[in-house]
Amino acid sequence: MPIYEYQCTACSKEFEMLVRSSGPRPECPACNSTELRKKLSSFAAVMGSSSSQTALPAACQSCPNSGGPGACGLN
C-alpha cells in the first residue's frame, strides 16, 4: 500500500495517508472533507546495496530548499 501526501482544499491541512486502491476515498482528518489535492512526494529506493548507508541524489539546486529531491514540493 502506498503512502500519499495530501493537502485539503477546504482547510489547507497537509497530511499523509496509506491508501488502498479498493478502499474508500480519503478524507481530511481535520475537517472530513474529501476535496483533497495529492502532493508530489519524494521517495527513496535502495537497490543492491549491502551498506546501511546508501547515497541519495543531491538537491535539484533550482530553489533555496536544500532538503533533497522533491523537498520543495514542486508547487
pLDDT tens per residue, range 22-55: 888 899 999 999 999 998 876 666 666 555 555 5
Question: How far are the Cα atoms of 3, 11, 20, 22, 29 from residue 25, in angstroms, in the given order?
Answer: 14, 17, 9, 9, 12
Whole-number pLDDT of residue 75: 43
Quote the CA–CA distance of 74 and 62 in Å, as a whole number: 10
Quote the CA–CA distance of 28 and 33 in Å, as a whole number: 5
Residue 10 makes CB contacts below 8 A (sequence gap 6+) with 28, 31, 33, 35
Average confidence score pLDDT of the chain? 75
- Report the first-to-last Cα separation within the chain, whole angstroms: 25
